[in-house]
Amino acid sequence: MQLSAAPYEERLTAPRSWWLISFLVGLSLALILLPFGTLPMLAGLAGGTASAAVAASSYGSIRIRVVGESLIAGEAKVPVRALGEAHVLDPEEARAWRTYKADTRAFLLLRAYIPTALRVEVTDPEDPTPYLYLSTREPERLAEAIRAAKASA
């Protein structure tokens, strides 16, 4: 497998505020368990914080990669030869494409805490998916990596 000229990898990590929320979930559980004693309260703090942190981490562990001749976005793996033009979406346009402009057949990999996105047309006639909507912090770099992978394919 030949690597693309401009490989790309991005992890859509959860925002820092979610880690504070994880601690607050643990604190809430500790307060709930306070009447049962110190040990249950400490177990609630540790367990609640850890559980919420695992949930935040797993939600933010999704990756977008351009490797070789493929775009891998979460569970989807699409050959770049099946992709058309990539459109960089600013926050306002990204919001429009996730709401009233959205097509129900589209593949959406969205994270509400990431304001920018990339919309990539799917040109494969066998695929009913009209486009991929990918939340990304660096839409220009991702578009360039897709173009480079298509050029080298």
- Output the pLDDT for position 99: 93
Beta bridge partner(s), residue 128: none
C-beta atoms surrounding 96 within 10 Å: 13
Reported as type and span, the H/E element at residue 21 is helix 16-33
- Output the pLDDT for position 6: 52
The SS3 call for residue 14 is coil
Residues of the chain with confidence (pLDDT) below 50 = 1-5
Instruction: Give domain limits for the chain.
Output: 80-152
pTM: 0.82
- Output the pLDDT for position 48: 96
Distance CA 25, CA 37 (A): 18
- Output the pLDDT for position 1: 45
- Output the pLDDT for position 4: 41
- Output the pLDDT for position 143: 95
Residue 28: which of 41, 18, 15 has the closest Cα? 41
- Output the pLDDT for position 92: 96
- What phi and psi values does residue 73 have, to the nearest 5 degrees? -130, 100
The DSSP-derived string for 56-117 is: HHHHTT-EEEEETTEEEETTEEEEGGGEEEEEEE-HHHHHHHHTTT--TTSEEE--TT---E
